[in-house]
Amino acid sequence: MTQHQTKLDILEAGRRLYQNGYIVSSDGNVSARIDEDRVIATPTGLCKGTLKMEDLCICDMDGNLVSGRLKPSSEIGMHLFLYRERPDIKAVVHAHPPTATGFSVAGIPLTDCVLPEVIITVGSIPIAKYGTPGGPEISEPIRQYVKDYDAYLLENHGATTVGSDVMNAYFKMETMEHFAKILFVAKQLGGVNVLDNEQVGKLLQIRDRLGIKGPNPACDIPPSSPVTSQKGIPTVRTKSAGGTTPATGQKGAASNDTLVDEIARQVMKQLTRT
Residue 46 contacts by C-beta under 8 Å, 6 or more apart in sequence? 26, 55, 70
Task: Determine how many CB atoms are found less than 10 A away from the CB of residue 255.
Answer: 14
Inter-residue contact 56 to 44 (CB < 8 Å): no
Q: Return the sign of the alpha-carbon dihedral for residues 143, 147, 153, 158.
A: positive
Given 12, 36, 54, 75, the catalytic residue: 75
DSSP 121-162: HT--B-EEPP--TTSGGGTGGGTTTTTT-SEEEETTTEEEEE
Residue 270 contacts by C-beta under 8 Å, 6 or more apart in sequence? none
Inter-residue contact 214 to 134 (CB < 8 Å): no
Cα separation, 152 vs 173, whole angstroms: 10
DSSP 74-127: TTHHHHHHHHHH-TT--EEEEE--HHHHHHHHHT--B-B---HHHHHHT--B-E
Concerning whether 75 is annotated as a catalytic residue, the answer is: yes
Q: Return the sign of the alpha-carbon dihedral for residues 264, 266, 269, 271.
A: negative
Task: Determine how many CB atoms are found less than 10 A away from the CB of residue 116.
Answer: 15
**Main-chain phi, psi angles of 155, to 5 degrees:** -50, 125
Catalytic sites, residue numbers: 75
